[in-house]
Each structure stands twice: as structure tokens, then as C-alpha cells.
Amino acid sequence: MIESSSDAVVQEVEYAHPIDVVWTALTTDDAISQWLMPASGFKAEVGAKFTMAYPDGQGGRGGTVDCEVLNVDEPHRLTYTWTSGPVNTTVTYHLASTGNGTKLRLEQVGFDSIEGDNKPFRNGAEGGWTLFLQKNLPGVLDSLAILRRTEVLRNG
């Protein structure tokens, strides 16, 4: 089991939504754009390349994250590269159904490969994932669950 270290950011969150709703939030451009950052070209297929854009931050410049899907085990695991500037890491989402919803475990590894002091990049990722997974993603999951229920009612 990988734990947070100088090389890795690890976070676990449980959501009161079924695994397929969480999977949808992780694997569609529109949903990714709502909770993580604007995404373009995502496909849940090994070898698929996509980008995400981040805005100008406090004292920082905006830019892009270039990604390539490395592993897909729907709806349990998704792995992709995360390359932006000196950061060349790998992000993996592990999903597991629980009695109350879905447990998501995020691992971003590879910070030790950054030349020089990796602490600012690793700490930035830690804070970013906390915001994305605990503040942004729950609202997107709520919206996706409502859409799913509406479609079931329409088609049922």
C-alpha cells in the first residue's frame, strides 16, 4: 500500500454515490472540466491522449497538463500520466463499492523524479487534490446522480 511520502500523494474519500456515477465523473470531459480542470479529448482507452488546462494562479502562469491513459479497468481503476513543466507523474484512481456508496483512493506518484526541490510541487498537488476531491467532486456527483435518475424515469 502506497502512503503519502515525498514521492507520492495519496488520498481516500468515500462518496454516497454508486461506483458507476463516480466512474462517469472521472471519465468524461464535461464532468472532469467541472471538478478538476477544463479537459479536452479524454477517452477511457489505453493510449488515449488528452489535455487539461489550468488558469493563471496567484503569481503563477496558466498552462496545460498533458496526459496519456495507461490503464483502464472499468469501473475500478484508471491510470494516466500527468505532465506539466517539470512534473512528470502518474495519477491512479482506485474505486471500490461500499455498503454506502463508493470509496475512491487517489495516488499521484513520481514527485521524486523532479530535479531539485520537489516539495512545492508535491505540496501543491496535495492541496489541489484535497480541494478537487473533497470540495469540487461531491457537487458534480450529485448532479450526475440527478441526471441518471431523470434518465431512468424518462426511459422507465
The rounded distance, in Å, linking the Cα atoms of 145 and 19 is: 11
Three-state DSSP at 3 gives coil
| Entry pTM | 0.90
Buried b (16+ CB within 10 A) or exposed e, 5-26: eebbbbbebebebbbebbbbbb
Lowest-pLDDT choice from 119-123, 131-135, 137-141: 119-123
Give the model's confidence band at 18: pLDDT under 50 very low, under 70 low, under 90 confident, else very high. Answer: very high
How do residues 52-108 score in pLDDT, each as one tens digit?
A: 998 766 556 678 999 999 999 999 999 999 999 899 999 999 999 998 999 999 999
Contact 110, 2 (CB under 8 A): no
Region 8-155: CATH code: 3.30.530.20
Alpha-carbon torsion (23, 24, 29, 30), positive or negative: negative
Q: What are the boundaries of each domain within the chain?
A: 8-155
Looking at the predicted structure, is the pLDDT value of residue 20 above 60? yes
Question: Tell me, what's the pLDDT at 1?
Answer: 47
The rounded distance, in Å, linking the Cα atoms of 11 and 4 is: 8
